[in-house]
Structure 1
Amino acid sequence: MVNGQAYAEVIGDPIAHSKSPTIHNHWLQQAGITAEYRASHVRSQDLESFFEERRRDRLWRGCNVTIPHKQAVMPLLDRIDPAAERIGAVNTVRPEKGKLVGYNTDYIGFLEPLLPLLRQAHLFRMARIFGAGGAAKAVALALHDQGFTNVIIARNPDQARALRESFEPDDRLIAPLDLFATPTDFPFDDREGILDLIVNTTSLGMAGQPALLLDFSHVPPNAVVYDIVYAPLETPLLAEARARGLRTIDGLHMLIGQAAAAFALFFGTPAPRGDDKALREKLLG
């Protein structure tokens, strides 16, 4: 490694768009840690050789894993944390006593901005989750563990069914994506004491992608709308939710939350979170 510094990194294909180096290097500077964090372009066919090389590098503190490698890395590791095993995806790898161990920090990162709400008592908790991919599984399991009844909404009903079966099979709680694009006259009952959550885990609404088509007649009054997309920060979904006076959570919350959990794994100290506002501004600059 250049300058003999300890380092961590994020791997993916593509990888140039990643904001992880900005986040981690900001925290390294804030914490006064002499180390660096970089982005490394690793293709699927090179994953095995990448990890064999990193095993021998004493300066390597680990890596974050992004698309399309979150499942592909799992057979290459010596051990997988039970939470990551349950989710079926790894987004963080670090060396531990000569072994490579896989973790998933998406679970805790997703829940972080919801914690003030989750500390409250509710009569019932329901989430309508759009998407059934890897991110959706971490989200669905996290919410299931917090007592939510999850409706999985996806283009592919088989994928939605498989996701639900991973934690609680129920075909009544899966639905096709296009159903939510058309108006409904469903009369929502009194939602007092109920926590309703709308979550977009798809790439719909991301820069260069079409918007998520959601008719807001499907959204319960006082619902919280959470979009894990962070480019743009205000997706069409969040813009409409805000215009309707609903509470919203943008994708930078999850991005920063999952990075903080990974930072602690890599560098053995909590991420310095006292300046999150400046970090958000840096990420948007």
Structure 2
Amino acid sequence: MTALSRLAGVVGQPIAHSLSPLIHSTWIAAAGLDASYEPFGPVGEPAFAALVDEGRAGRLTGLNVTAPYKSLALALADDASVVASTCGSANLLTFQNGRVHADSTDGEGLMQALAEQAPGLNVSGRSVVILGAGGATRAAAVALKAAGAKVGLLNRTQSKAEAVAADLGVVVVDSEALEEAALVVNALSVPPDVYAERFASDTVLMDMTYRPLVTPFLAAGRARGLRTVDGLAMLIGQARPSFEALFGVPVPAIDIRTVVLKALGETA
């Protein structure tokens, strides 16, 4: 493998639904790189660890990592960024000289999505509520806390929220916090059990899910005239720094969102 012949990819289980190969392959072609970005679907932790060993051996330049391997990705790394260490998980592994470096670009993707689709939103000093207490919640909480937000976690199982909040230095809130939130982020994989009527007129709603692009959560917010931010914007946002880390060149200036929307059969 030379600098002009690189193999990277995304790893998870299941993986067939991932849009990352489409995004990165489109950028690779636009940049004229001698490179490839492929999906990998190892079944079980030993198989994932074996794939990481392929990277150590120099046969991969790096991997994006999705569920259920983000925590293991961090554990197998030789060193990690402050963000990944704080999140307790990694969505990006890069390999160099037999060593594995872990990073997390999910939070950066979230902040890019907010800047793109809710310009002017300033969360510094304001209340933000994140729905859920899983891995996606951790990345969102770390990024929003770094931006100065007062982050609260709202989860059906309060004990799980309390454990995550203690790790990250944020708080657990109840549903009344929705009424004062400048931003509400759905980090659940299912529609949340909250009602749009509870939000203030200037609350911004964000959903990390992008199938469908306009989720029931976002649709209810739009019906009230609230600003919304979709999960596709976050997906593309986290992919940008990943591409630069994996291939060592800037992201080409092309309309990747339109490419992905076409693949999804969406027009919004």
TM-score normalised by structure 1 residue count: 0.84
- Aligned residue in 2 for 1:260: 240
- 1:244 to 1:63, Cα distance in 2 relative to 1, 3 A: same
- Aligned residue in 2 for 1:130: 131
1:168 matches 2:161: no
1:203 matches 2:184: no
- Tell me, what secondary structure is at the counterpart of 1:10? strand
Alignment of 1:223-262 (within 5 A): 223-262=203-242
- 1:118 to 1:232, Cα distance in 2 relative to 1, 3 A: closer
Q: Tell me the distance in 2 between the aligned counterparts of 1:105 and 1:162.
A: 23
1:143 matches 2:144: yes
Q: Tell me the distance in 2 between the aligned counterparts of 1:165 and 1:273.
A: 41
- Aligned residue in 1 for 2:98: 98
1:217-250 Cα offsets, whole Å, 9 max, x none, are: 3212211110010111110011111111110000
Q: Tell me the distance in 2 between the aligned counterparts of 1:48 and 1:114.
A: 34
1:6 matches 2:25: no
The structure number with the bigger radius of gyration is 1
Q: Tell me the distance in 1 between the aligned counterparts of 2:214 and 2:170.
A: 34
1:170-212 Cα offsets, whole Å, 9 max, x none, are: 4xx433xxxx4xxx7x996xx8xxx7001100101xxxxxx32
8 Å CA contact 2:20, 2:239 repeated in 1: yes
Q: Tell me the distance in 1 between the aligned counterparts of 2:173 and 2:9.
A: 37
- Aligned residue in 2 for 1:207: none
8 Å CA contact 1:12, 1:66 repeated in 2: yes
Count of residue pairs the alignment pairs up: 261
- Tell me, what secondary structure is at the counterpart of 1:252? helix
1:269 matches 2:249: yes
Deviation at 1:283, TM superposition (A): 3.7
8 Å CA contact 1:230, 1:250 repeated in 2: yes
- Aligned residue in 2 for 1:33: 33
- Aligned residue in 2 for 1:221: 201
Deviation at 1:46, TM superposition (A): 1.1
Q: Tell me the distance in 1 between the aligned counterparts of 2:74 and 2:178.
A: 45
Deviation at 1:275, TM superposition (A): 1.5
- 1:169 to 1:246, Cα distance in 2 relative to 1, 3 A: closer
8 Å CA contact 2:58, 2:98 repeated in 1: no
Deviation at 1:56, TM superposition (A): 1.7
Greater shift, 211-220 or 20-29, is seen at 211-220
Structure 2: 5+ residue stretches without partners: none
- Tell me, what secondary structure is at the counterpart of 1:226? strand
- Tell me, what secondary structure is at the counterpart of 1:139? helix
- Tell me, what secondary structure is at the counterpart of 2:100? strand
Q: Identity over aligned residues, as a percent?
A: 34
**AA at the equivalent of 1:29:** A
- Tell me, what secondary structure is at the counterpart of 2:70? coil
8 Å CA contact 2:131, 2:186 repeated in 1: yes
- Tell me, what secondary structure is at the counterpart of 1:278? helix
Deviation at 1:114, TM superposition (A): 2.0
- 1:244 to 1:102, Cα distance in 2 relative to 1, 3 A: same
- 1:262 to 1:119, Cα distance in 2 relative to 1, 3 A: same
8 Å CA contact 1:94, 1:265 repeated in 2: yes
Q: Tell me the distance in 2 between the aligned counterparts of 1:16 and 1:203.
A: 17
1:52-86 Cα offsets, whole Å, 9 max, x none, are: 2232234x210011100000122222111121001
- 1:74 to 1:113, Cα distance in 2 relative to 1, 3 A: closer
